Amino acid sequence: MARITLEQIRHSYLSAPSGDADWALKQIDLEWADGGAYALLGPSGCGKTTLLNIISGLVRPSRGQVRFDGADVTGLDPVDRHVAQVFQFPVIYDTMTVHGNLAFPLRNRAMPPDAVDARVREVAGMLDLQDKLSRRASRLTADEKQKISLGRGLVRSDVNVIMFDEPLTVIDPHMKWVLRSKLKELHREFGVTMIYVTHDQTEALTFADTVVVMYDGAVVQVGTPVELFERPRHTFVGHFIGSPGMNVLPCTVDGAEAVFDGVPIPIAGDDDSDSDDAGSGPARAARVARPRLSPSGAGGTSGLELGVRPEFVCFSDDGFAVEVTKVDDVGRYRIVDIRRGSHLMKMVVGENDTIPSENPRIRFDPAHTRVYADGWLVAPREAER
Amino acid sequence: MSTRTVNHRAWWLVAPVVVLVAFNALIPMMTVVNYSFQETFGDNVFFFEGFKWYEQVLTSERFHASFVRQIIFTGVILAIEIPLGVAIALTMPRRGPWVSVCLVLMALPLLIPWNVVGAMWNIFALPEIGLLGRTVNAMGIAYNFTQDPASAWITTVVMDVWHWTSLVVLLAYAGLCSIPDAYYQAAKIDGASAWAVFRHIELPKMKRVLTIAILLRFMDSFMIYTEPFVLTGGGPGNTTTFLSIDLVKAALGQFDLGPAAAMSLVYFLIVLLVCYVFFTAVMRGEER
Amino acid sequence: MSIELREVVKRAGAETHIHPTDLMLSEGVLNILLGTTLSGKTTLMRLMAGLEKPTSGRVRFRGEDVTGVPVRKRNVSMVYQQFINYPHMTVFENIASPLRVAGVSASEIERRVAGAADLLDLGPMLNRRPEELSGGQQQRTAIARALVKDSDLVLLDEPLANLDYKLREELREELPGILEEKGAIIVYATSEPQEALLLGGYTATLHQGRVTQFGPTPEVYRRPKDLVSAQVFADPPLNTAAVTKRDGAIRLDDAVAWPAVGPAADLREGRYTLGFRPYHITPSPVTENALKVEAKVLLAELSGSESIVHVEVGGHGWVSQSHGVHAVAVGEVEPMYLQIERFLYFGEDGALLAP
């Protein structure tokens, strides 16, 4: 197992990249602690799979170094880096049994047959595949196949990191739950570094201890799921994480208050804002670089904006007047569409809470209301920079 | 989900094909069956002879000899063309500008009419004036395909390999192109050797197309006529007289319609039987 | 306008894909078929479209028997999970293609394509080719093509499954409005319970080739007819346990019991299957009369907006889903609170008995 360091990684699929747009990865500096559970989260085309392949050695970066425990491995092949990878579509050796599939990486490394068999049985037990060892692998269901792909990584004792490239794409929702919990359980048992690439925030946030959010070839924020949810550094993160995403509204700032559509909105720094700043390596590294983002679909990026998550909006008699335009019952809670003038917002109302039928007034939770300038978080973090 | 619709109207759609097949396969074949049981001395007068021609054909030394020759020829060219075709397909680039160049080069021999192939190699290999014939002889190797049986055989085999390996290459290449990148990446990560990649990924994924390639090459080579006919005319002696050449000699050369018809049917049944056995064996292997 | 399946059965060889099914779907609402892979969603759609003929039973459209009428003679359009567009045509030509086949005049095509493109935000993309579009835009093009020809029946087979999470969210929001206004019968297949809830309309839950329940989506979700319907319409999975009613109390085991009040009051004494949703077991009490139980924490997933905790109570593995961040110690025994008034009780045959 190893600590993985990415130093000034840039990558382009073109031979002579010129403009900014030619770079699939603009500049990435990250450090992955040994034994961590990480997720790389971003929309399609953000460069997350490229980054994953650079770590595994399937792609050689145009610039920069990859280090495992400080040693430069940039020029090494995947097999010499001792990595394992699970792909979007299950990769199974059709001609072999489940046992043969799990034993394959060990046999390739010339392990004695007795040791191979013992190890395969042990791993199969943990993956609940012990009854299927003699079955032809091509006959299994998609989730079982995916477990085998994962198993081929787990059987090896020399694995530095196991990487997952959207591994649940072809799995039914019911099985997604089972498999995802299994992954997390295996991570706890094996303690091996895992990096999980996905566009699905639920998968990323439930699996990982640290999530790296990428957009347009750059890292936008690194943090725990709670940090990303409660303190998005950029409106893109606010929009991309959370369902529905963060409300982003134009505002002005007047002293310690933000003003939205003539309504003063109090903003309070939260108590634990210091603790996460002294966070892990990647968290700090990512704060250094502030890549330029193009408009994110989460509203404009120019000027000052107010960001508040639908979860932190509530009905309150001392709030400001709004109009309720739509209520969607999604079982556990309701998503309420509200409007003030031309500004649209969403809020989340619990199963046991009521929606006022007349003159609804709402307020934002001051501890979870943020101000963004050109898309980047400025308050309540103002003092720190 | 795969479900099948039963719709009897679909039979009307295949009706034209049925009619066509009847005209170009069934009716001629029934004529042959008819001849094979009768004797004629011309003027459309026939006598029923029962299985006489079949007995004659099956006990004929001449038939045995051409049959054995045929089996050896087909075995040799399959043993060369299939591995060679796969090997060439493996070395071809999967993407990039060279793909189309390679594909065109590979397709070239397939575009040449069969009798032209025979004529080409005939001239090419002539010991006195052919480039190949002269070069080989100049190297001190006695080579004359019109007189020496070994030279004739080698020339016929080399000609067939030159002509048909491309077909195997193209089929195998199509099979290789359908393998997703993830398989190669997974194999790299699992530390698989080049041989293991071939054995466990490329070969299984090529299995279906290779089955087709083997079947096509088996049938074609078993029925080979034009090229050796043009090249060697079945000689020297009878050394390159394969089944179909023998058959034509009997039917047209000697006008023995009855024995030739019986021979055709025996020949047809052999091809059918071998293809069937091979195909079921492969399919059963697949299901397991 | 409606399409009706009466006693429809679909068999292929020895396998039964659809067991006898009665279903009536109307225009003006979204009709959702919810079920896992192989539950029969696609087969049911193919039967409605006329791509397949039922083994027995009738298909009626606007009261008229259309069983066996092939798809060409019906006015049907379909959208698939894969983004299916003509690669060599522009977006405009893709959307216009069904109209060209129908021989609609050029000016009319212009007008209707513009309308459909407008509806699906494809206005600026009309001159591009599908390969130049994002996945979301490609699927919008396919939907626009399905909507432009004024079909009587529009079938969407997991149309969002291949899209990015956020794009899915966006389209889920827009689709119900766009589709319901269409004046066609809309059938939408999905394997995701959350998607069904967000889309609203009517939902049919499917399980192994049977429609287990059909009704307004929130109603099917809140009042499942039986255990199977409740399990099909659950993500995360429904928590279940065998319980006994005795002496006015519901007993999980010797240690855990609660008074049989509310809906459970009317149940006779005996054995039942308890089912409840993961958000009705929480690390902190949500309602005043929540029942406190000791639970062993197996696994915790904190996503920021919610906490998902896998626990074990009395030998039953349950999942708890709650708002916000709840730090729980994995491997320890922690208190959990059950909202017993939200519990569902099923009989031995699986039918919902209370509430």
Report whether pLDDT(B3) > 60: no
Interface of chain C toward chain B, CB-CB under 8 angstroms = 10, 12, 17, 38, 40, 42-43, 46, 51-53
Identify the CATH number of the domain in which residue A137 sits.
Answer: 3.40.50.300
Amino acid at A2: A
Domain boundaries, chain C: 2-232, 239-354
Beta bridge partners of A265: A258
- Residue in chain C closest to B4 (alpha carbons) equals C12
* Interface contact C312, partner A, CB < 8 A: no
Interface of chain B toward chain A, CB-CB under 8 angstroms = 180, 182-183, 185-186, 188-193, 196, 199-201, 204-205, 288
Count other Cβ atoms within 10 Å, centred on residue A384: 10
- Residue in chain B closest to C52 (alpha carbons) equals B5
Sheet of strand A323-329, all strands in order from the earlier edge strand to the far edge = A323-329, A333-340, A343-350
- In angstroms, rounded to a whole number, what is the distance separating the alpha carbons of residues C188 and A85? 35
Report whether pLDDT(A293) > 50: no
Instruction: Identify the pLDDT of residue A288.
Output: 36
- Nearest by CB to B188, which of A78, A96, A149? A78
- In angstroms, rounded to a whole number, what is the distance separating the alpha carbons of residues C157 and C159? 5
Shortest Cα distance, chain A CAs vs residue C342, angstroms: 11
Tell me, yes or no, whether A121 lies in a domain.
yes
Say if the Cβ atoms of C305 and A43 lie within 8 Å: no
- Nearest by CB to C303, which of A205, A240, A350? A205
**Contacting residues of B for A93, CB less than 8 Å apart:** 200-201, 204
Say if the Cβ atoms of C10 and B4 lie within 8 Å: no
Q: Which two tokens stand for residue B65?
A: 């000899």
- Nearest by CB to A352, which of C218, C286, C319? C286
**Contacting residues of C for B7, CB less than 8 Å apart:** 53
Instruction: Identify the pLDDT of residue B253.
Output: 67
- In angstroms, rounded to a whole number, what is the distance separating the alpha carbons of residues B230 and B216? 22
Taking alpha carbons only, the member of C218, C242, C323 closest to residue A330 is C218
**Contacting residues of B for A85, CB less than 8 Å apart:** 185-186, 189
Tell me, yes or no, whether A366 lies in a domain.
yes
Are A249 and A210 members of one domain? no
| pLDDT, mean over chain A | 84
Tell me, yes or no, whether A160 lies in a domain.
yes
SS3 for C24-91 is EEECCCEEEEECCCCCCHHHHHHHHHCCCCCCEEEEEECCEECCCCCHHHCCEEEECCCCCCCCCCCH
Q: A366-375: per-residue pLDDT in tens? A: 889 999 988 8
SS3 for B209-221 is HHHHHHHHHHHHH
Rounded percentage of chain A residues whose pLDDT exceeds 70: 89
Say if the Cβ atoms of B4 and C38 lie within 8 Å: no
Q: B99-144: per-residue pLDDT in tens? A: 889 899 988 888 888 788 888 888 888 878 888 888 888 888 888 8
Average pLDDT over residues C148-175: 87
Q: C168-186: per-residue pLDDT in tens? A: 888 888 888 888 888 889 9
Which residue has tokens 């009490």? C285
Q: B184-239: per-residue pLDDT in tens? A: 988 888 888 889 899 889 998 888 889 889 988 988 888 888 777 777 777 777 77
Return the CATH class of domain C239-354.
mainly beta
CA dihedral B161, B164, B166, B167 (to 10 degrees): -140
Are A111 and A156 members of one domain? yes
Compute the count of residue pairs across chains A and C with CB atoms less than 8 Å apart: 99
Indicate the pLDDT class of residue B42, thresholds 50, 70 and 90.
Answer: low
- Nearest by CB to A181, which of C36, C286, C310? C310
Question: Would strands C257-259 and C270-276 be described as parallel, antiparallel, or unpaired?
Answer: unpaired
Average pLDDT over residues C128-132: 87
Average pLDDT over residues C69-85: 86
- Residue in chain A closest to C38 (alpha carbons) equals A172
- What number does CATH give the domain C2-232? 3.40.50.300
Domain boundaries, chain B: 63-287
According to DSSP H, which parts of A253-380 are helical? 281-288
Tell me, yes or no, whether A238 lies in a domain.
no
Is residue B108 within 8 A of residue B120, CB to CB? The reply is no
Termini Cα distance of chain A: 35
- In angstroms, rounded to a whole number, what is the distance separating the alpha carbons of residues B49 and C68? 55
Instruction: Identify the pLDDT of residue A65.
Output: 92
**Contacting residues of A for C36, CB less than 8 Å apart:** 172-174
- Those of residues 14-43 in A touching chain C at CB distance below 8 A are 43
Say if the Cβ atoms of B3 and C53 lie within 8 Å: no
| pLDDT, mean over chain C | 89
Q: How much of chain B is in helix, strand and coil states, percent to nearest 5?
A: 75, 0, 25
Tell me, yes or no, whether A363 lies in a domain.
yes
- In angstroms, rounded to a whole number, what is the distance separating the alpha carbons of residues C248 and C264? 9
**Contacting residues of B for A109, CB less than 8 Å apart:** 191
Q: C223-259: per-residue pLDDT in tens? A: 999 999 999 999 888 999 999 998 888 998 888 888 8
Report whether pLDDT(A364) > 60: yes
Are A278 and A374 members of one domain? yes
Is residue A138 within 8 A of residue A145, CB to CB? The reply is no
Identify the CATH number of the domain in which residue A319 sits.
Answer: 2.40.50.140
Report whether pLDDT(B28) > 70: yes
Phi, psi of B223 (to 5 degrees): -105, 10
Say if the Cβ atoms of C43 and B3 lie within 8 Å: yes
Distance of CA A237 to the CA centre of its chain: 10
Phi, psi of C193 (to 5 degrees): -55, -40
Termini Cα distance of chain C: 34
* Interface contact A100, partner C, CB < 8 A: no
Tell me which residue range forms the domain holding A111: 4-219
Say if the Cβ atoms of B3 and C10 lie within 8 Å: yes
Question: Would strands C2-12 and A304-308 be described as parallel, antiparallel, or unpaired?
Answer: unpaired
Taking alpha carbons only, the member of A267, A260, A242 closest to residue A344 is A260
Tell me, yes or no, whether A234 lies in a domain.
no
* Interface contact A206, partner C, CB < 8 A: yes
Is residue A265 within 8 A of residue A257, CB to CB? The reply is yes
How much is the pTM?
Answer: 0.80
Q: Is C232 helix (H, G, I), strand (E, B) or coil?
A: helix
Which residue has tokens 């280090």? A67
Say if the Cβ atoms of A87 and B182 lie within 8 Å: yes
Tell me, yes or no, whether A196 lies in a domain.
yes
- In angstroms, rounded to a whole number, what is the distance separating the alpha carbons of residues A259 and C258? 50
The DSSP line for A131-171 is GGTTSBGGGS-HHHHHHHHHHHHHT-TT-SEEEEESTTTTS
- In angstroms, rounded to a whole number, what is the distance separating the alpha carbons of residues B82 and B63? 28
Which one is the CATH code of B63-287: 1.20.1260.10, 1.10.3720.10, 3.40.50.11540, 3.30.1780.10? 1.10.3720.10
- In angstroms, rounded to a whole number, what is the distance separating the alpha carbons of residues A9 and B254? 81
Lowest mean pLDDT among A347-361, B239-253, B260-274: B239-253
Average pLDDT over residues A110-133: 90
Say if the Cβ atoms of C46 and B3 lie within 8 Å: yes
- In angstroms, rounded to a whole number, what is the distance separating the alpha carbons of residues A68 and C29? 56
Q: B55-97: per-residue pLDDT in tens? A: 877 888 888 888 888 889 999 999 999 999 999 999 998 888 8
Average pLDDT over residues A184-208: 89
Greater confidence (A157 vs C34) lies with C34
Are A258 and A200 members of one domain? no
Are A286 and A179 members of one domain? no
